[in-house]
Amino acid sequence: MSLSHLVVNNPYNGEKVGEVVAGGAAEIETAVACAHTGAELMAAMPAHQRSSILTHTAGQLRTEATELGYLIASESGKTWNEGIAEVKRAAGIFQLAAEEARRIHGETLPFDAFETGEGRTGYWLREPVGIVGAITPWNVPLALAAHKIAPAIAAGNAVVHKPAEQTPLNALKLQEIMLHVGLPMTALQVVTGLGEEAGDALVRHSDVPFVTFTGSRAVGMQLPARAGYKRVALELGGNSPVIITESANIKTASAAIVAGGYAVAGQLCISVQRVLVQRTMMKQLVDALVPLVEALVTGDPLEAKTNVGCLIDVAACDRIESLVHSTMRSGAALLYGGFRIGRTSFAPTLITDIPTDRGLAMDEAFGPIVALLPYDTLEQAVAIANATPYGLNAGIFTGQISQAEYAARNLNFGAVMINDVPSFRSDLMPYGGRKQSGIGREGVRFAIEEMTELKVICSKSISLN
Ligand code: ADP
């Protein structure tokens, strides 16, 4: 039987970059069957060997960063520089997982704390769940795959990976690297294909006890119902706010907003989307921001001078264009940008006076748009920040410790950055969202916790005769 194929196109110019098999339920079935063997091999593999495979993967990623960065840029439309940075970041995640693989442990249990436990000694430990199903998006394709595959392998699991249909080539390359450095073939299966076919079959498979998904809120929120009796971790969207108080350092804040608002053309879950500005600071902030946004070069992601790459496809660019137009029709004022450039690029856009109950203020834009919203009191700013269905990362720039502390305690988000934008993420921190931004936490150590199950071993003393 011949398999159908998916063409991978460069989102900037539409040129063909490659072609992969369009896998579906049958391929997932085969992959899961192989992964059973992989899971047995990995569970039996000592920690030092798992660690060594992960270290060598990190090393090989660093060696191939330039070429692999180019491949990521060609598939995803992010800039080549962003692609290279992503490969280095993925290498760091593998290195961290190599270190964590050596310290997955439990602790002893004081059973005699209760009368019924007298005469018993024992401990709890972590065992791998077996097969991890990993579903990843196109915006940070390699590093987010690393955030699922590296901890899964560190913990002694096998993985079935379904990469995004737009960016499957770097996933296949990662698999090649991992097999080359000694990972058993059955321990990492990559099934390329459409989300509603291969992805859905992976989610539903009864032999996959844990599925970890990063993607859209629309798809992610339906997964638990389709997954059946299994654990699911979800990293979904965001509408990240940053609060600028009167005591903020405007120069530092402006540079961070521009970096955090337009990286990967704003297609990150933790992109700066809303800047909540103390009303008296508005003019000063706008004066600082506009020249920085103006200086950004939007263009071919593969050219070294480009700062802002393109959107993932024509439909995404159409969506951003109509979002800007409808926001303008509601009375918003453009401060910069607001226009399309060619097929899939959109000028980095700065906008204000937006409606506060819908659109940019509430939903995830996933494009190069930053909105400035004025506020009067910090209590009001925090309330506005909290008023969306999302709760991933937030930030505040302030020179006052009491304001920082108030915001940190009252922002209903998975993480609060003080004197930085919400786009900051360290790969070792617990990362994940509240409300509709997701369920569970990544960040290697925390993912390992989700990818292992606890077992108690209890030994009862009995008399010698
Ligand atoms: P985006 O809008 O960022 O493309 P998606 O949620 O559509 O986000 O895609 C993220 C990942 O989820 C991709 O690998 C995609 O193939 C997969 N996916 C999409 N639909 C489904 C589905 N119904 N079941 C499982 N996976 C899916």
What is the amino acid identity at position 308? V
Of 144, 143, 178, the closest CA to residue 158 belongs to 178
Cβ 360 under 6 angstroms from ligand 1: no
Query: What's CA 346's distance to the chain center, in Å?
Result: 23
pLDDT at residue number 139: 98
Local confidence band at 3 (pLDDT 50, 70, 90 cut-offs): confident
Q: Catalytic one among 269, 310, 442, 450?
A: 269
Query: What's CA 377's distance to the chain center, in Å?
Result: 32
Provide the token pair at 281.
């600071």
| pLDDT tens digits for range 221-279 | 999 999 999 999 999 999 999 999 999 999 999 999 999 999 999 999 999 999 999 99
CA dihedral angle for residue 165, residue 171, residue 176, residue 181, rounded to 10 degrees: -160
| pLDDT tens digits for range 331-358 | 999 999 999 999 999 999 999 999 999 9
- Predicted TM-score (pTM) of the model is 0.98
Ligand 1 atom closest to residue 164's alpha carbon, by position in its atom list: 14
- Mean of the pLDDT values across residues 425-451? 98
Local confidence band at 2 (pLDDT 50, 70, 90 cut-offs): low
**How far apart are the C-alpha atoms of 279 and 281, rounded to whole Å?**
5
**Residues 347, 337: contact at Cβ < 8 Å?**
yes
pLDDT above 90: residue 76:
yes
Tell me the C-alpha to C-alpha distance, in Å, between residue 99 and each of 92, 216, 431: 11, 31, 19
Closest CA to ligand 1's atom 24: 200
Q: Catalytic one among 235, 364, 442, 450?
A: 235
CA dihedral angle for residue 297, residue 393, residue 139, residue 136, rounded to 10 degrees: 170
- Mean of the pLDDT values across residues 33-59? 98
Tell me the C-alpha to C-alpha distance, in Å, between residue 135 and each of 289, 324, 428: 37, 31, 20
* Phi, psi angles (nearest 5°) of residue 125: -145, 170
**How far apart are the C-alpha atoms of 133 and 213, rounded to whole Å?**
8
Taking all residues of the chain, what is their mean pLDDT, rounded to a whole number?
Answer: 97
CATH number given to 5-236+437-457: 3.40.605.10
Instruction: Look at strands 349-352 and 369-375 and give their pairing.
Output: parallel
- Mean of the pLDDT values across residues 113-124? 97
- Mean of the pLDDT values across residues 163-191? 98
CATH class of 240-418: alpha beta
Local confidence band at 361 (pLDDT 50, 70, 90 cut-offs): very high
One fold for both 5-236+437-457 and 240-418?
no
Q: Which residues contact 77 (CB under 8 A, 6 or more apart)?
A: 10, 11, 12, 265, 301, 309, 310, 311, 312, 344
Provide the token pair at 83.
């692609």
Cα torsion 352, 356, 359, 364: sign: positive
Cβ 376 under 6 angstroms from ligand 1: no
Residue 269: active-site member = yes
Residue 235: active-site member = yes
Provide the token pair at 170.
């770097």
**How far apart are the C-alpha atoms of 274 and 314, rounded to whole Å?**
25
**Residues 264, 142: contact at Cβ < 8 Å?**
no
pLDDT above 60: residue 1:
no
First CA to last CA distance, the chain: 67
Of 147, 161, 94, 101, the closest CA to residue 128 belongs to 101
Cβ 237 under 6 angstroms from ligand 1: no
**Residues 83, 72: contact at Cβ < 8 Å?**
yes
Of 340, 346, 339, 321, the closest CA to residue 264 belongs to 346
Helix axes 169-180, 47-63, angle to 10 degrees: 130
Closest CA to ligand 1's atom 16: 195
Helix axes 80-100, 47-63, angle to 10 degrees: 160
> 177-215: b or e for each residue (b if 16 or more CB lie within 10 Å)?
bbeebebbebbbbbbbbebebbbbbbbbbeebbbbbbbb
CA dihedral angle for residue 194, residue 197, residue 201, residue 203, rounded to 10 degrees: 50
CA of 195 to the centre of ligand 1 (A): 5
* Phi, psi angles (nearest 5°) of residue 395: -145, 160
Local confidence band at 465 (pLDDT 50, 70, 90 cut-offs): confident
H or E element in which residue 203 lies:
helix 200-204
